[in-house]
Amino acid sequence: MAVNIPAYQQIKTELDNKKVALVAVSKTKPIEDIQALYNLGQRDFGENYVQELAEKYEQLSKDIRWHFIGHLQSNKVKYIAPFVHLIHGVDSFNLLKEINKQGLKNNRVINCLLQIHIAKEETKFGFAEKELYELNQIHDTSTSSVHELKNITIIGMMGMASFSDDMNVIKNEFASLKIIFDKYALLSIANCQLSILSMGMSSDYKIAIEEGSNMVRIGSLLFGERNYTAK
Ligand SMILES: *Cc1c(COP(=O)(O)O)cnc(C)c1O
Overall average pLDDT of the 65-92 stretch? 97
| Residue 120 pLDDT level (bands cut at 50, 70, 90) | confident
Closest CA to 82 of 59, 57, 63: 57
| Residue 192 pLDDT level (bands cut at 50, 70, 90) | confident
Cα-to-centroid distance, 217 and ligand 1 (Å)? 6
Counting atoms of ligand 1 from 1, which one is nearest the CA of 202? 9
CA 43 – CA 62 distance, rounded (Å): 10
CA 152 – CA 94 distance, rounded (Å): 13
For the chain, give the percent of residues with pLDDT over 90. Answer: 77
Counting atoms of ligand 1 from 1, which one is nearest the CA of 23? 10
Q: Ligand 1 test: best mutation among 8, 23, 25, 203, most atoms within 8 Å of CB?
A: 25
Terminus-to-terminus CA distance in the chain, angstroms?
Answer: 16
Which amino acid would we find at residue 230?
Answer: A
> Which tens digits make up the pLDDT trace of 81-112?
999 999 999 999 999 999 999 999 999 999 99
Cα-to-centroid distance, 93 and ligand 1 (Å)? 24
pLDDT of 173? 96
Cα-to-centroid distance, 129 and ligand 1 (Å)? 23
| Residue 138 pLDDT level (bands cut at 50, 70, 90) | low
> Which tens digits make up the pLDDT trace of 12-59?
999 999 999 999 999 999 999 999 999 999 999 999 999 999 999 999
pLDDT of 2? 84
Q: Is residue 231's pLDDT more than 50?
A: no
Cα-to-centroid distance, 225 and ligand 1 (Å)? 11
Counting atoms of ligand 1 from 1, which one is nearest the CA of 25? 4
Cα-to-centroid distance, 218 and ligand 1 (Å)? 6
CA 191 – CA 151 distance, rounded (Å): 9
Q: Is 87 helix (H, G, I), strand (E, B) or coil?
A: strand
- Its pTM stands at 0.94
Q: Is residue 188's pLDDT more than 70?
A: no
Which amino acid would we find at residue 52?
Answer: E
Q: Is residue 229's pLDDT more than 70?
A: no
Going by CA atoms, what residue is nearest to atom 12 of ligand 1?
69
CA 169 – CA 119 distance, rounded (Å): 9
User: Exposed/middle/buried for 211, CB within 10 Å: 0-12, 13-18, 19+?
Assistant: buried
How many degrees, rounded to 5, is the angle at CA 146 between CA 142 and CA 150? Answer: 85
Counting atoms of ligand 1 from 1, which one is nearest the CA of 221? 9
CA 131 – CA 186 distance, rounded (Å): 18
Cα-to-centroid distance, 220 and ligand 1 (Å)? 8
pLDDT of 10? 98
The answer to whether residues 47 and 79 touch, using CB atoms and an 8 Å cutoff, is: no
Contacts of 197 (CB under 8 A, 6+ apart): 156, 157, 158, 177, 178, 181, 212, 213, 214, 215
Pocket of ligand 1 from Cβ distances under 6 Å: 25, 27, 48, 69-70, 160, 201-203, 217-220
Cα-to-centroid distance, 179 and ligand 1 (Å)? 23
Helix 167-185 and helix 129-137: axis angle, to 10°?
Answer: 20
Closest CA to 143 of 105, 99, 110, 113: 99
Q: What average pLDDT is seen over the chain?
A: 92
